[in-house]
Amino acid sequence: MARNKRLLIIECIPRSEKFNESLVLSSFLRMTEPEAIHTHAIRSKSQMSNYLGGKRDLQKFDFVHISAHGGDDSESINLPQGSIRPEEFPEGCFSRQTVTLSACGMSRTNFVSEFMETTGASRVIAPVHDVEFIDSAVWFINFYYLVLHKNYTPKGALDRTNTILKGKAKGGFQFWT
C-alpha cells in the first residue's frame, strides 16, 4: 500500500490579523487525512532559518505550504517581524518537494527562480496577482483535496482547481518546475 502524502503548513501571517490560513486548511483537510497535516507558526527570518535549517523531519512532507504576505518588492515574503528573500532560505531545505506559496504576487520569475535554486524545491505554485484570504483558502482546499485525497498530480490538481474555480477565485495561480 502506498504511503499517504503529507503536508506541512507554515503560517507566517501576523496573529493580529483575523485570518489564519493554516487553521482553515488544516481543519478541513484533517477531516480526510488527519495524520497527514502538520502546522507550524513562524514569526521572523531567524525563526524560519532555524526551523528549516535544522531540517527536522522536513523530508517526510511531500508538500510545504507557506502562508504569508508577498513583499512590496515582489522579491521577498513578509513575516510578522521582517521579511525573507529567496536566497536567505536554508540551502536545499525543500529538496524535491512541492512548495505552495499563499502570498500575493509571488509567482514572479525573479522570486521563484532564486527560491527554487536555493531551496531545491522541485515544484512551486504561487499566485501571480493579489489574492483575497477567502479566495486563497478555497483554492488551496480544492488543490490539497485533489492531491492528498484523490491522488491527482500537483500539475493535474492545479489545472483542475483553476478550471473548477475559473472566475470565482482570484489570484491566477501558476505552476513552476
pLDDT tens by residue, 74-110: 789 999 999 999 999 999 999 989 999 998 888 888 8
CA distances from 57 to 9, 54, 86, 127, 136 (A): 13, 9, 21, 27, 27
Structural contact between residues 6 and 144, judged by C-beta atoms closer than 8 angstroms:
no
Could you give all domains of the chain from N- to C-terminal order, each with its CATH number? 7-176 (3.40.50.1460)
pLDDT band for position 55 (cuts 50, 70, 90): low
The pTM (predicted TM-score) of the whole model is 0.92
Q: For residue 50, how many other CB atoms are within 10 A of its CB?
A: 12
Q: For residue 58, how many other CB atoms are within 10 A of its CB?
A: 18
Q: What is the mean pLDDT of the chain?
A: 89
Sheet with 83-84: list strands edge to edge: 69-70, 77-78, 83-84
pLDDT band for position 58 (cuts 50, 70, 90): confident
Q: Give the mean pLDDT of 18-39.
A: 86
For residue range 133-150, list pLDDT tens digits in order: 889 999 999 999 999 989
Structural contact between residues 42 and 51, judged by C-beta atoms closer than 8 angstroms:
yes
Q: pLDDT higher for 66 or 130? A: 66
pLDDT band for position 1 (cuts 50, 70, 90): very low
Please report where in the chains the cell 523530508 appears, as a residue: 59
Structural contact between residues 124 and 116, judged by C-beta atoms closer than 8 angstroms:
yes
Going by C-alpha positions, the residue among 176, 131, 96, 139 that lies closest to residue 13 is 131
